[in-house]
Amino acid sequence: MDVVGGKWMVGEDYGPVLSRTDLYLLQQELELHPVLKGLPNFVFNVTTGEAKILNAAQQEEPFDSQKDEPASIPRVTELIIISKVSPWCVTVFNENGVTLENVLGCIFEEYAKRITDLELSKIPSNVQHQIRRTAALYRSPVAGAWGPQSIDSPLKRSGTLYFPC
């Protein structure tokens, strides 16, 4: 007797992987994986790329068991992530269907990038200052110290996630 797993289980037997055009023509609504909706027990560190799940006892468990699950139902070849807390969007592509690992990997890669001078010029000056202070804090040899040598360190996109732009 075959037992069917949950809809987020890894496998190829859950329907076709749809392109943006297919999704539009079928007028199909995407259902995001619960992890992408913001589960309270899921922790993703954008600066290190480390993902963890907190169990009921608030102990960390590795995320490896869910990383290959589809990021959405129906499965799609491309997801575009737009956030209210960041001026950047992240495009995730996988011909075989976007997985949670693809999404988290792309978010990590995108937010590890250095902010260009042009991008920085488009951000309000008060937010620029907060981003520079955050960068200085993380680059400072003593935690919590604002060192002048740290102000000129490369500014990363992850530093914008703390301040609405």
**Where residue 2 falls among pLDDT bands split at 50, 70, 90?**
very low
Contacts of 64 (CB under 8 A, 6+ apart): none
Rounded CA-CA distance 71/84 in Å is 20
Instruction: Domain ranges for the chain, please list them.
Output: 20-112, 117-160
H/E stretch holding 117 reads helix 117-122
- pLDDT (tens digit per residue) in 131-142: 787 777 766 555
User: Coil, strand, or helix at residue 1?
Assistant: coil
Instruction: Look at residue 57 and tell me whether its pLDDT is greater than 80.
Output: no
